[in-house]
Amino acid sequence: MTDLSTRYMGLTLKNPIVVGSCGLTKSVDRIRQCEEAGAGAVVLKSIFEEQICHQVAELIQASSSGDAWGHPEAAEYIGQYGRDDAVSSFLRLVEESKKTTSIPIIASIHCVTAGTWLEFAKRLEGAGADALELNLHVHSTDPKLTGADKEKIYFDVVARVKQASRLPVALKVAPYFSSPANVLVRLSRSGVDSLTLFNRLYRLDFDIEKRQVVPAKFLSAKDEHLLALRWISILSPQAGCDLAAATGIHDSAAVIKQLLAGAKATQVVSALYQHGLGHLRTMLDELEAWMQRSGYATIEAFRGTMSQAKSGNAAAFERVQFMKYSVGIK
Ligand SMILES: Cc1cc2nc3c(=O)[nH]c(=O)nc-3n(C[C@H](O)[C@H](O)[C@H](O)COP(=O)(O)O)c2cc1C
């Protein structure tokens, strides 16, 4: 018998494929569909710190300044959020999805500070959430903000959320730190239960005909999973918490690679938008078939076996690989 279950943040997941935070997890019906399709867990569509803190009015003013960067449609969107009673809807979503499904429900908060939203983490616990994922991105567009200032915010958020709530907490971060290995290993030992590597940030593009700022392609491409693969294989031997892989995981091979690198779970979003929820079953069947033909009865039997634990010096290893590769190129 092949056992696909994994322990993630102290929770038992029936398999390591989690539907990441997105529109597919924003209602009870959709969460039920994710469960029926085979998801090991879901991360709910995020509630924003601004929604929790009722800072909507200020945001609308700031974002409707009128020029190409003003995004009036964003103001309308945020305004709609303000009119909805976002906080109680979110709590209801947690309660209802706990009642009607049996997979772990991971709530998600999109935040930028260790602000007054922390109280809300306590209420999520009351509503029955199994864990909390914080999508934390401190924008580094201010040249006066040093790397150390930025990092401090991440550590403050972790310390304060762990004080405010007993829920297991995952921190979903982008890779943009001045020294990622240093920051991520220290964060992994700061009391957080998991790091989700990596967040795929909203990217801007220009429409050169209309001279407007437009969103870049929203869905990821298949080879984007290589960034998480590199960092999870480097970090997993040293991390003090679980690691979940995210971005660019489009097929079973990408799931298997992240597990071999040392991930406890993988998050999938774009591939489900592209191929439908039925794609989960295909990925799970292929994962199981691979385990069977490779002689692995459990995920733990192979998880982390291709991490860089044995290479000792990740930088030297990568340099040699690059030299071997580049020498062969004309
Ligand atoms: C339509 C859509 C909505 C998303 N909403 C959220 C969100 O509310 N919170 C969040 O943390 N990430 C959100 N994401 C990001 C995804 O959770 C994920 O990190 C990103 O899409 C990269 O994974 P992928 O390559 O599997 O798509 C969203 C992504 C998409 C495509």
Tens digit of pLDDT for each residue in 95-129? 999 999 999 999 999 988 877 788 888 899 999 99
pLDDT tens for 175-200 read 999 999 999 999 999 999 999 999 99
Q: Are 168 and 10 in contact (CB under 8 A)?
A: yes
* Ligand 1 nearest atom to the CA of residue 271, by list position: 26
Domain coverage including residue 23: 6-327
122 CA distance to ligand 1 middle (Å): 24
Q: What is the pLDDT of residue 118?
A: 85
Q: Is the CB of 45 under 6 A from ligand 1?
A: yes
**Is residue 144, in this structure, part of any structural domain at all?**
yes
The pLDDT of 131-142, averaged and rounded, is 91
The pLDDT of 285-299, averaged and rounded, is 98
Tokens of 163: 């004080």
Of 200, 222, 249, the one to substitute when testing ligand 1's pocket (max ligand atoms within 8 A of C-beta) is 200
Q: Is the CB of 247 under 6 A from ligand 1?
A: yes
How many domains does the structure of the chain reveal? 1
Q: Quick one: which H or E segment has residue 278?
A: helix 278-294
**Is residue 302, in this structure, part of any structural domain at all?**
yes
pLDDT tens for 36-93 read 999 999 999 999 887 887 644 555 455 555 444 445 556 556 655 554 588 899 999 9
Q: How far apart are CA 186 and CA 239, in angstroms?
A: 8
Q: Which ranges constitute the DSSP H helices of 174-263?
A: 180-188, 225-235, 252-261
Q: Exposed, middle or buried by CB within 10 Å (0-12, 13-18, 19+), for 317?
A: middle
Q: What is the pLDDT of residue 326?
A: 74
Closest CA to 17 of 313, 183, 221, 255: 255
Closest CA to 254 of 276, 227, 294: 227
Q: Is the CB of 199 under 6 A from ligand 1?
A: yes
The pLDDT of 22-43, averaged and rounded, is 98
Q: Are 236 and 307 in contact (CB under 8 A)?
A: yes
Q: What is the pLDDT of residue 76?
A: 59
DSSP β-ladder status, 6-8 and 11-13: antiparallel
Q: What is the pLDDT of residue 64?
A: 53
Q: Quick one: which H or E segment has residue 11?
A: strand 11-13
Q: Is the CB of 127 under 6 A from ligand 1?
A: no
Q: Is the CB of 200 under 6 A from ligand 1?
A: yes
Whether 317 has a pLDDT exceeding 80, the answer reads no
Q: Is the CB of 252 under 6 A from ligand 1?
A: no
pTM above 0.85, yes or no: yes
Tokens of 296: 């692995």
Q: What is the pLDDT of residue 298?
A: 98
Closest CA to 186 of 225, 158, 144, 145: 158
pLDDT tens for 217-267 read 899 999 999 999 999 999 999 999 999 999 999 999 999 999 999 999 999
Q: What is the pLDDT of residue 115?
A: 77
**Is residue 138, in this structure, part of any structural domain at all?**
yes
Q: Is the CB of 250 under 6 A from ligand 1?
A: no
CATH assignment at residue 69 = 3.20.20.70
**Is residue 1, in this structure, part of any structural domain at all?**
no
Q: Which residues contact 196 (CB under 8 A, 6 or more apart)?
A: 133, 170, 171, 172, 173, 244, 246, 267
**Is residue 102, in this structure, part of any structural domain at all?**
yes
73 CA distance to ligand 1 middle (Å): 20
* Coil/strand/helix, residue 138: coil
Q: How far apart are CA 74 and CA 60, in angstroms?
A: 8
312 CA distance to ligand 1 middle (Å): 34
**Is residue 256, in this structure, part of any structural domain at all?**
yes
Q: How far apart are CA 221 and CA 276, in angstroms?
A: 16
Q: Is the CB of 257 under 6 A from ligand 1?
A: no
**Is residue 222, in this structure, part of any structural domain at all?**
yes
Whether 314 has a pLDDT exceeding 80, the answer reads no
**Is residue 307, in this structure, part of any structural domain at all?**
yes
